[in-house]
Homo-oligomer: A and B are copies of this chain.
Amino acid sequence: MLLGAALTAFLSVSAQEQPVDYVNPFVGTTNYGTTNPGAVLPQGMMSATPFNVMGSDLNKYDKDKQWWSTPYDVTNKYLTGFSHVNLSGVGCPDMGSLLLMPTTGELNVNYRQYGSEYTDEEATPGYYKNKLSKYNIQCEMTATLHTSRARFTFPAGQSNILLNLGEGLTNESGASMRFVNDCEIEGSKLLGTFCYNPQAVFPIYFVMRIHKTPEKRGYWKKQRPMQGPEAEWDADAGKYKLYTNYGRVMSGDDIGAWFTFDTQANETLEVSIGVSFVSIENARLNLETEQPVGTTFDKLRADARAKWNDDLSRILVEGGTKEQKGVFYTALYHAMIHPNLLQDVNGQYPMMESDSILTTTHNRYTVFSLWDTYRNVHQLMTLVYPERQMDMIRTMMGMYQEHGWFPKWELYGRETLTMEGDPSIPVIVDSWMKGLRDFDINLAYEGMYKSATTPGKDNLMRPDIDEYIKRGYCPMESQYDNSVSHALEYYIADYSLSTLAKALGKKEDAKMFYDRSMGYKHYYCKEFGTLRPILQTGEFYSPFDPLQGANFEPSPGFHEGNSWNYTFYVPHDVKGLAKLMGGQKKFVDKLQMVFDKNYYDPANEPDIAYPYLFSYFKGEEWRTQKLVKELLAKHFTTQPNGLPGNEDTGTMSSWAIFSMMGFYPDCPGVPEYTFTLPTFDKVTIKLDPAYWGADKLVLKKEGGDGYIKEIRLGDKKSSSYRITHENLIKAGEITFVCE
């Protein structure tokens, strides 16, 4: 209570403009940002999102006609409902099911026909609104951690509510449901196959309640086509059949439930949905706990807004433009979508890679896109939301205990094995090094050691580890493998592991893993001055073009990028790399060239820390400041296309957040930051004294609009443009004195 009171006092801001007011949930909703404007809470399991990616040529982007990974694109026009539980900022299709849609007039359950264009879109944290043009229905959505509430305002006449379980962003199909009574449905739907991993499937359970008894209700199901005389007799063959008189269990690939009402003009109908990944009973418990009898839509909306404002207010910014504040708080908003809660209100959650159910006493998280988020999201969590990062670490520990492996790309209890590397290692080491140590580090080390040493045939994380250990690098296995990318990830993971081993007094391990982490040098090709794939023979791959692989085209040796996007990705040995390249000047010139020639890809992870690497070298720090400022201005706006590319569950936004605050964790696993020019005059980060022994960190900008000429830590001048986490916290107040 004291902390809460302190927090409130501390975070007093102007009554006019609260942090939550600056958030624009439409940012990133096109240009493949893959965020969405749905209603969601920080780290909430539930999101209720407008779904406009199927059913009509009015939509430029159709989930069934191309690779498509988001339920919403702001440039699409045809809405077929609101999807429940969605992924924000990912590159593969999944989730986005339980499609709730209001319509009017004669019942029509074909989404190619019942969808509608819409106007009057509005979205704020925890709230979304639009108006369906075809039906003149106003739709509003809000959410709690595990539940959603819809409020539909209808015109007079027959109104309908549809719940479509046949469609969704997921490529999985199959659902089952039943009417509990006229106003309540319960059921389940299969989700999964994220990034086309066929076995990564899991069920979502739900309970839906409508707050008014319908005139009629029933199911629909797309019928199998029939041949010959059967087709003549079965009027529904191949069509959507309406079940008007049956309310027991209904299962199938393409099923739905419908409700019809006789509404007055401007009558509102509300619909509540609770979900769980454990059971229908838990979905109901979640619903009844978070929406007790009497709860109003407006209260839920206000609660959601307050919760967002509380969380966003952990960082208060002053100065800067409204646009910059919009970018900042929207980024912070996006950084708190995933990972999200997996457990239900009673603590139950699905065991990792198992059909069993377990109970947790801390928050159990899911949606770990670790190849992305190990770079900065967890560093942001660690500093600003350490209680969450601590539970994320505990979650990862739980996954190891349950499944035998730390996560790589975990989704609702499934290891999807998307992307490469061993990214849990730097995440855990980074947090532990910074002081988040309320977990069994020896057990953690055991798990890390396992994935770093188990032979490839039994190694889920590092299937190509055998050659990596033997040779110090991963040779090419096929034309378009990702061998260099794999090895680069292993180097950074092994570097983290070596620092942990050292800290734990395991000197031999520390040396072994350190030696491994230097293996990147094998890939350095003097001829091109870049990293270059190596054949099984030990020779470099030819013909080699370090530019091949731009724009997601296939690239020998590199994943989602080309050699230029990876060559500087040795964050644990920047100086060593520079030496390899011929010294500081050559390194700096080459890195500058990457930017000058536009080889830099701001929209994907491998090179996102590049701008900060200049600051490892005295006198070159201005380049970091110049580039970061330019990149922020160019790629981060409050427009729907205001993200450089795929948000990658907060990674793009975390880059912006750190960059705008004036420091960035450029080497995962190493508890250090590189300074850059802050965007705001003053940034106040509310720290949790239980973790950091201090209650705030203030970053101030003084002087002119030019580059940094001096950095003061408290009242001492900093001798470096890099700083350890410990010193950052200790500083209390950091002042950037600018030219």
Residue ranges of A at the interface with B (Cβ–Cβ < 8 Å)? 64-67, 171, 173-176, 179, 188-190, 193, 196, 198-199, 201-203, 221, 223-224, 226-230, 233-236, 241, 243-255, 350, 353, 355
Q: Which residues of B contact A245 (CB under 8 A)?
A: 199, 353
Which listed residue (B65, B203, B243) contacts A248, Cβ 8 A?
Answer: B203
Contact across chains for A173 and B64 when beta carbons are under 8 A apart: no
A339 and B601 CA atoms in complex are apart in Å by: 73
Q: Which residues of B contact A198 (CB under 8 A)?
A: 234-236, 241
Q: Which residues of B contact A246 (CB under 8 A)?
A: 199, 201-202, 355
Contact across chains for B355 and A229 when beta carbons are under 8 A apart: no
| Contacts A174-B255, A243-B201; A196 near B234 (Cβ below 8 A) | yes
Q: Top 4 closest A-B pairs, CB basis?
A: A174-B252, A176-B176, A176-B251, A174-B251
A537 and B201 CA atoms in complex are apart in Å by: 66
Contact across chains for A229 and B67 when beta carbons are under 8 A apart: yes
**Nearest chain B residue, comparing its CB with the CB of A233:** B196
A189 and B250 CA atoms in complex are apart in Å by: 8
A198 and B249 CA atoms in complex are apart in Å by: 16
Which listed residue (B65, B224, B251) contacts A228, Cβ 8 A?
Answer: B65
Least Cβ–Cβ distance between A419 and chain B, in angstroms? 15
A175 and B246 CA atoms in complex are apart in Å by: 15
A245 and B199 CA atoms in complex are apart in Å by: 6
| Contacts A230-B171, A233-B67, A235-B198; A224 near B244 (Cβ below 8 A) | no
Least Cβ–Cβ distance between A707 and chain B, in angstroms? 46
Contact across chains for A251 and B190 when beta carbons are under 8 A apart: yes
Please name 12 pairs of A and B residues whose Cβ atoms are closer than 8 Å in the assembled complex, sorted by A: A64-B227, A171-B230, A173-B223, A174-B221, A174-B250, A176-B249, A193-B234, A196-B234, A201-B243, A203-B248, A251-B251, A252-B253
A718 and B38 CA atoms in complex are apart in Å by: 89
**Nearest chain B residue, comparing its CB with the CB of A235:** B198
Least Cβ–Cβ distance between A146 and chain B, in angstroms? 19
Least Cβ–Cβ distance between A35 and chain B, in angstroms? 22
Contact across chains for B250 and A179 when beta carbons are under 8 A apart: no
| Contacts A233-B196, A236-B198, A253-B253; A226 near B171 (Cβ below 8 A) | yes
A65 and B229 CA atoms in complex are apart in Å by: 7
Contact across chains for B252 and A199 when beta carbons are under 8 A apart: no
Which listed residue (B64, B223, B236) contacts A226, Cβ 8 A?
Answer: B64
| Contacts A64-B227, A65-B228; A252 near B196 (Cβ below 8 A) | no
Q: Which residues of B contact A226 (CB under 8 A)?
A: 64, 171
**Nearest chain B residue, comparing its CB with the CB of A67:** B229
Least Cβ–Cβ distance between A418 and chain B, in angstroms? 13
Contact across chains for A229 and B66 when beta carbons are under 8 A apart: yes
**Nearest chain B residue, comparing its CB with the CB of A179:** B355
A410 and B174 CA atoms in complex are apart in Å by: 30
Least Cβ–Cβ distance between A246 and chain B, in angstroms? 5
Contact across chains for A234 and B199 when beta carbons are under 8 A apart: no
Contact across chains for B179 and A230 when beta carbons are under 8 A apart: no
A224 and B224 CA atoms in complex are apart in Å by: 12
A57 and B720 CA atoms in complex are apart in Å by: 81
Q: Which residues of B contact A179 (CB under 8 A)?
A: 355
Among A176, A201, A203, chain B packs the most CB atoms within 10 A around the CB of A176
Identical copies of this chain, number: 2
Contact across chains for B173 and A224 when beta carbons are under 8 A apart: yes
Q: Which residues of B contact A229 (CB under 8 A)?
A: 66-67
**Nearest chain B residue, comparing its CB with the CB of A255:** B174
Q: Which residues of B contact A251 (CB under 8 A)?
A: 174-176, 188-190, 251-252
A230 and B179 CA atoms in complex are apart in Å by: 34
**Nearest chain B residue, comparing its CB with the CB of A195:** B233
Q: Which residues of B contact A221 (CB under 8 A)?
A: 173-174
A246 and B353 CA atoms in complex are apart in Å by: 9
Contact across chains for A243 and B199 when beta carbons are under 8 A apart: yes
Among A171, A230, A250, A251, chain B packs the most CB atoms within 10 A around the CB of A251
A248 and B67 CA atoms in complex are apart in Å by: 28
Q: Which residues of B contact A189 (CB under 8 A)?
A: 251
Least Cβ–Cβ distance between A412 and chain B, in angstroms? 11
Q: Which residues of B contact A175 (CB under 8 A)?
A: 251
Contact across chains for B190 and A234 when beta carbons are under 8 A apart: no
Contact across chains for B67 and A203 when beta carbons are under 8 A apart: no
A208 and B235 CA atoms in complex are apart in Å by: 34
Contact across chains for A253 and B236 when beta carbons are under 8 A apart: no
Least Cβ–Cβ distance between A32 and chain B, in angstroms? 15
Contact across chains for B355 and A247 when beta carbons are under 8 A apart: yes
Contact across chains for B234 and A171 when beta carbons are under 8 A apart: yes
A73 and B559 CA atoms in complex are apart in Å by: 58
Least Cβ–Cβ distance between A306 and chain B, in angstroms? 36
Least Cβ–Cβ distance between A199 and chain B, in angstroms? 5
A247 and B357 CA atoms in complex are apart in Å by: 12
Least Cβ–Cβ distance between A446 and chain B, in angstroms? 24
A203 and B246 CA atoms in complex are apart in Å by: 10
A46 and B439 CA atoms in complex are apart in Å by: 56
A176 and B176 CA atoms in complex are apart in Å by: 7
Contact across chains for A244 and B199 when beta carbons are under 8 A apart: yes
Among A202, A243, A252, chain B packs the most CB atoms within 10 A around the CB of A252
A233 and B195 CA atoms in complex are apart in Å by: 9
Least Cβ–Cβ distance between A277 and chain B, in angstroms? 10
Contact across chains for B199 and A249 when beta carbons are under 8 A apart: no
A66 and B230 CA atoms in complex are apart in Å by: 6
Query: 5 extra interchain contacts, Cβ-Cβ under 8 A, other than A199-B244, A199-B245, A245-B353?
Result: A65-B228, A66-B229, A171-B230, A174-B250, A202-B248
A202 and B247 CA atoms in complex are apart in Å by: 9
A243 and B234 CA atoms in complex are apart in Å by: 32
A189 and B251 CA atoms in complex are apart in Å by: 8
Least Cβ–Cβ distance between A226 and chain B, in angstroms? 7
Contact across chains for B249 and A203 when beta carbons are under 8 A apart: yes
**Nearest chain B residue, comparing its CB with the CB of A222:** B253
Q: Which residues of B contact A255 (CB under 8 A)?
A: 174
Q: Which residues of B contact A228 (CB under 8 A)?
A: 65-66
Least Cβ–Cβ distance between A216 and chain B, in angstroms? 13
Least Cβ–Cβ distance between A219 and chain B, in angstroms? 9
Q: Which residues of B contact A201 (CB under 8 A)?
A: 243, 246
Among A174, A226, A250, A252, chain B packs the most CB atoms within 10 A around the CB of A174
A226 and B227 CA atoms in complex are apart in Å by: 22
Contact across chains for A249 and B173 when beta carbons are under 8 A apart: no
**Nearest chain B residue, comparing its CB with the CB of A278:** B248
Q: Which residues of B contact A223 (CB under 8 A)?
A: 173
Least Cβ–Cβ distance between A289 and chain B, in angstroms? 23
Q: Which residues of B contact A249 (CB under 8 A)?
A: 176, 188, 190, 203
| Contacts A174-B255, A248-B202, A252-B174; A227 near B188 (Cβ below 8 A) | no
